[in-house]
Copies of this chain bind each other. A is one copy, B any other.
Amino acid sequence: MASPSRTFAGLAVGSTFRSTGEIAVTAERIKSFAAEFDPQPIHLGAPDVLLDPSSEVIASGWHTAALSMRLVLDSDLPLLGRSLGVGVEAMSWRAPVRPGDRLRLEGTITEFRPSRSHAGRDVLKFRIAVYNQAGELTLEATHVALLARRGASPIVG
């Protein structure tokens, strides 16, 4: 089997990466994201007393998931805009994200090999963990992406 593309120097199984900064989460954005994508009381600022009589609003898990993608791109993982997400093998929301939280990401490459089904592509899998400012794990997931090599035909045609 061929080696993965040399285009992506530094990508190897076991390599780790981390976000270069943090993303601060505001109550306003939690609520507006929820209004568009996940309009449940607990994300809109009107928590259901059955679920949580005392809490303030918490972010939609899909908001946290989208922010995790931004943290991947803002990390030292050299995706270079040439990756295409194929899917997620598993994703868990481990602790709520609340207004004022600052999120950061750590990741590890778990697989990097030529694609069996897409000529000229490599498959990259990486595990991510998103932490809040207290070091609490809020989300973990394993992402699967296809990487195009230079000169290969389009992934999306």
* A residues whose Cβ falls under 8 Å from a Cβ of B: 33, 36-42, 48, 50-55, 58, 60-63, 65-67, 69-70, 73, 79, 81-93, 96, 141, 148, 150-152, 154-157
Say yes or no: A87 contacts B82, CB within 8 Å.
Answer: no
- Identify the 5 closest CB pairs spanning chains A and B, nearest first: A87-B92, A37-B66, A52-B154, A88-B91, A61-B85
Query: What distance in Å separates the Cβ of A6 from its nearest Cβ neighbour in chain B?
Result: 15
Number of identical monomers bound together in the oligomeric complex = 2
Residue among B54, B65, B156 making CB contact with A55, cutoff 8 Å? B156
Which of B70, B85, B90 contacts A87, CB < 8 Å? B90
Q: Which residue of B lies closest to A79 (CB)?
A: B40
Q: State how many angstroms separate the Cβ of A32 from the closest Cβ of chain B.
A: 11
Question: Which listed residue (B60, B93, B141, B152) contacts A69, Cβ 8 A?
Answer: B60
Compute how far the CA of A132 lies from the CA of B37 in the bound complex, rounded to whole angstroms: 18
CB pair B148–A69 under 8 Å, yes or no, is no
